[in-house]
């Protein structure tokens, strides 16, 4: 399989969590040379259609974050559509269960034989804490639930996982060959907003992250390029310290 992670020139995804395509395109133009890829969600696609994906994918790999969670056939069709629109990464919910994940792994193999493409299994949203989990969830620590869902994904062949930074150490020790994508990335000076389980870029990378998702800290910065350059400088220092 051709992993989409091979397309990333650095481990940063900029989340284009905005409502205006012109604003999104401005950020793409200003930062495409600095980030590994762009994360796009429903906010833009529902307003402007799939041309958003096609256009942005011309500048950098697109991580389509719709967190597909449905019956297996519907999830399969959705992933194929995401691929056809130009996405290199697409999220699926591990909670969809083994039948769906096995089917989607076969789809991933088929699609990635045409061009690099990777599925990312979502475990638990970073906005959750143990106190705010839905009432039907098992009453056990967040880490155990994330580990269980990651184990299910691995059993079905899925090797790309979305998790919070707080679970990285445990997951990396258990599944060292997986790619872990971590939202909830904040600098120490940043506000956490609605994220409950966060970490700095250096912490996440040291714990085993393959890629980092950062959004509001960049989008709200007075100078997004300057912010990203500082972030990349910190990451490069971390990489040098590991050699």
What CATH number does domain 4-241 carry, 3.40.50.300, 3.30.365.10, 3.20.20.70, 3.10.200.10? 3.20.20.70
pLDDT at 201: 85
DSSP letter assigned to residue 185? B
Catalytic member of 9, 67, 172, 174:
67
pLDDT band at 92 (very low <50, low <70, confident <90, very high): very high
* Distance of alpha carbon 90 from alpha carbon 39, whole angstroms: 9
Instruction: For CA atoms 133, 138, 139, 144, give the dihedral sign.
Output: negative
Neighbour count for residue 49 (Cβ, 10 Å): 12
Give the containing element (helix H, strand E) for 180.
Answer: strand 179-182
The per-residue pLDDT for range 116-154, each reduced to its tens digit, is 999 999 987 767 777 777 776 777 778 888 999 999 999
Is 67 noted as a catalytic residue in this protein? yes
pLDDT in tens, 192-222: 454 445 678 888 899 999 999 999 889 999 9
Burial letters for 50-66: b for 16+ Cβ neighbours within 10 Å, e otherwise?
eebbebbbebbbbbbbb
State pTM to two decimals: 0.90
Start-to-end CA distance of the chain, whole Å, equals 29
């Amino acid at each position: 399989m051709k992993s989409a992670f091979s397309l990333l020139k650095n481990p940063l995804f900029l989340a284009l969590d905005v409502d205006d395509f012109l604003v999104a395109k401005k950020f793409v133009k200003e930062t495409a040379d600095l980030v590994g890829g762009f994360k796009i969600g429903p906010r833009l696609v529902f307003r402007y259609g799939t041309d958003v994906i096609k256009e942005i994918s011309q500048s950098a790999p697109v991580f389509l974050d719709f967190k597909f969670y449905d019956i297996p056939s519907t999830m399969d069709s959705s992933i194929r559509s995401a691929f056809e629109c130009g996405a290199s990464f697409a999220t699926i919910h591990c909670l969809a269960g083994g039948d769906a994940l096995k089917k989607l792994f076969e789809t991933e193999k088929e699609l990635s034989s045409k061009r690099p493409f990777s599925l990312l299994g979502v475990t638990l949203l970073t906005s959750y804490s143990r106190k705010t989990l839905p009432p039907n969830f098992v009453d056990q620590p967040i880490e155990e639930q994330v580990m269980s869902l990651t184990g299910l994904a691995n059993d079905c062949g899925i090797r790309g996982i979305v998790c919070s930074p707080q679970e990285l150490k445990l997951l990396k020790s258990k599944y060292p060959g997986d790619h872990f994508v971590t939202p909830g990335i904040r600098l120490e000076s940043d506000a956490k907003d609605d994220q409950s389980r966060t970490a700095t870029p250096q912490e996440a990378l040291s714990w085993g992250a393959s890629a980092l998702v950062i959004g509001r800290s960049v989008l709200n910065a007075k100078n997004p390029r300057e912010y990203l350059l500082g972030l990349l400088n910190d990451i490069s220092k971390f990489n040098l310290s590991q050699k």
